[in-house]
């Protein structure tokens, strides 16, 4: 249940003062007296252990816009959660209150800046749910949509077209439910035989996604996965640089933020499980090195169970440069190594803090260890000297969950 008093207190703490926020406050105070909302508002919130973001949607119902939208967010994760919660098929006129929010809007919302008498706004619709969509059967492997999806099997194709693939009923269902910016959906006749298959396709069509029925043979031509998946979707890819060209952080954070840094994790399944763990622990974002497994590899996507697409992911060609930028911005950076003197459970740290995990075989690089503000080891009984990287990440991250 939405706590409107908490929402208003949050907006006031964050100094969020726009016409739509003022109108929302007045409407709420009138609602407390009369029991009626006038005008009506739709509200979405973000945050796990505390409120970290609010999106106010005021229905407009004009030819140009369905909603006027105001977003207040304290970190990258809360903003992404709110953008993913924006309804498909609806055109929003987003009030541009902070530059970093304006920069992230195109990750999920397809549109552009517009100038009105009331000021500058961003008008757009969730990616993949524009007015013009397709619902058809594809019979040939040379069909344009099949040729396009086939390009997304390579890393070069993913980056060039800013899309990645999600395969399989469970994760596709989650992607639709979580509001991912889905560009297209392919399914085989076998999918309709699966429980909830018809309902999922009906939901996809209702949300104005492009849906294509293909044969198992055609589906098999666009993936190396065996057995051939009965359903897949292509999703808009967002993977910005963590550090700007000027050397500053291209990353918005609050005082309580928790960041995971993964340096050179080699196995895509391990990386996917690590991202799944980070998602469950409520991290604000994950920073990945350019070396090692790629987060949009199909095995990583599958193992992440929806974390790829839901979590804000950032990249850097230099973990040491990123760590230096974090430290300059007041972050603590905690590295883990078996040779550290201090144990995790005997050391105290303040947030915001970044946790760094390294390669499965070699651990953190010497350069990264030298630049961390502290190094710790995870206490273990005799017999083992290390943990799987996803398990280690879980132990470390949950030490900071309060």
**Per-residue pLDDT tens for 12-47?**
998 877 888 999 999 999 999 998 888 889 999 999
Instruction: Using the predicted structure, report yes or no on whether residue 401 has a pLDDT greater than 90.
Output: no
Q: Which of 332, 335, 336 is nearest to 349 (CA)?
A: 332
Lowest mean pLDDT among 117-131, 167-181, 236-250: 117-131
Taking residues 171-197, report their average pLDDT.
Answer: 94
Q: Which of 225, 226, 233 is nearest to 200 (CA)?
A: 233
Instruction: Please tell me the distance from the alpha carbon of residue 177 to that of residue 197, in angstroms, as a whole number.
Output: 14
Instruction: Please tell me the distance from the alpha carbon of residue 70 to that of residue 95, in angstroms, as a whole number.
Output: 5
Q: Which of 277, 267, 354, 280 is nearest to 314 (CA)?
A: 354
- Backbone angles phi and psi of 110, in degrees to 5: -90, 120
Instruction: Please tell me the distance from the alpha carbon of residue 67 to that of residue 58, in angstroms, as a whole number.
Output: 5
Domain with CATH 3.40.630 in the chain: 4-126
Instruction: Using the predicted structure, report yes or no on whether residue 348 has a pLDDT greater than 90.
Output: no
Contact 308, 275 (CB under 8 A): yes
Domain with CATH 3.40.1280.10 in the chain: 258-398
Residue 285: how many CB atoms within 10 A of its CB? 23
Sheet holding 119-126, edge to edge: 42-46, 53-59, 67-73, 92-95, 119-126, 109-116
CATH number listed for the domain at residues 135-236: 3.30.1330.30
Cα dihedral 270, 316, 260, 341 in deg (nearest 10): 90
Lowest mean pLDDT among 173-187, 253-267, 326-340: 326-340
The class (CATH top level) of 4-126 is alpha beta
What is the total residue count of the chain?
402
- Backbone angles phi and psi of 100, in degrees to 5: -65, -35
- The token pair at 351 is 């947030």
**Above pLDDT 90, what percent of the chain?**
78
Contact 284, 259 (CB under 8 A): yes
pLDDT category, 131, cuts 50, 70, 90?
low
Q: Are strands 53-59 and 67-73 parallel, antiparallel or unpaired?
A: antiparallel
Residues of 211-229 as b/e, b for ≥16 C-beta within 10 angstroms? bbbbbeebbbbbbebeebb
Predicted confidence at residue 159, as pLDDT, reads 96
- The token pair at 22 is 């003022």
Instruction: Please tell me the distance from the alpha carbon of residue 208 to that of residue 119, in angstroms, as a whole number.
Output: 30
pLDDT category, 69, cuts 50, 70, 90?
very high
Give every CB contact of residue 222 below 8 A, 6+ residues apart in sequence. 146, 149, 150, 153, 186, 232
CATH number listed for the domain at residues 258-398: 3.40.1280.10
Instruction: Please tell me the distance from the alpha carbon of residue 150 to that of residue 148, in angstroms, as a whole number.
Output: 5
Instruction: Please tell me the distance from the alpha carbon of residue 288 to that of residue 259, in angstroms, as a whole number.
Output: 11
Instruction: Using the predicted structure, report yes or no on whether residue 113 has a pLDDT greater than 70.
Output: yes
Give the largest Cα separation in the chain, rounded.
70
Q: pTM for the full model?
A: 0.95
């Amino acid at each position: 249940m939405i706590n409107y008093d908490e929402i208003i207190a949050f907006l006031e703490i964050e100094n969020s003062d726009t016409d739509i926020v003022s109108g929302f406050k007045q409407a709420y105070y009138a609602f407390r007296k009369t029991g009626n909302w006038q005008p009506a508002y739709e509200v979405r919130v973000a945050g796990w252990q505390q409120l970290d973001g609010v999106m106010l949607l005021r229905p407009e119902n004009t030819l140009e816009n369905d909603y006027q939208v105001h977003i207040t967010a304290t970190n990258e994760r809360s903003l992404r959660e709110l953008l993913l919660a924006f309804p498909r098929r609806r055109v929003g006129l987003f009030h541009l209150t902070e530059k970093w929010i304006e920069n992230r809007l195109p990750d999920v919302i397809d549109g552009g800046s517009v100038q009105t008498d009331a000021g500058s706004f961003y008008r757009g619709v969730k990616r993949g749910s524009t007015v013009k969509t397709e619902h058809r059967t594809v019979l040939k492997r040379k069909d344009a949509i099949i040729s396009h999806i086939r390009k997304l099997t390579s890393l070069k194709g993913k980056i060039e077209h800013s899309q990645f693939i999600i395969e399989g009923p469970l994760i596709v269902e989650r992607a639709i439910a979580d509001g991912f910016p889905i560009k297209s959906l392919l399914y085989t006749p076998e999918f309709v035989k699966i429980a909830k298959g018809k309902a999922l396709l009906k939901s996809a069509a209702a949300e104005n996604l492009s849906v294509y029925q293909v044969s198992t043979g055609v589906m098999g031509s666009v993936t190396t996965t065996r057995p051939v998946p009965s359903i897949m979707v292509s999703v808009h890819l967002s993977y910005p640089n963590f550090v700007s060209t000027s050397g500053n952080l291209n990353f918005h954070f609050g005082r309580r933020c928790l960041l995971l840094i993964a340096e050179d994790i080699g196995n895509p399944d391990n990386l996917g499980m690590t991202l799944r763990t980070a998602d469950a622990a409520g991290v604000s974002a994950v920073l990945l090195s350019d070396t090692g497994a790629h987060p949009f590899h199909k095995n990583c996507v599958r193992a992440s169970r929806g974390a790829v697409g839901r979590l804000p992911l950032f990249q850097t060609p230099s973990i040491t440069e990123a760590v230096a930028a974090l430290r300059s911005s007041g972050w603590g950076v905690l590295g883990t190594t078996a040779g550290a003197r201090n144990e995790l459970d005997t050391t105290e740290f303040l947030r915001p803090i970044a946790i760094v995990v390294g390669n499965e075989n070699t651990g953190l690089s010497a350069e990264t260890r030298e630049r961390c503000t502290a190094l710790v080891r995870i206490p273990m009984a005799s017999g083992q000297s290390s943990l799987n990287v996803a398990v280690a990440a879980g132990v470390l991250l949950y030490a900071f969950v309060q």
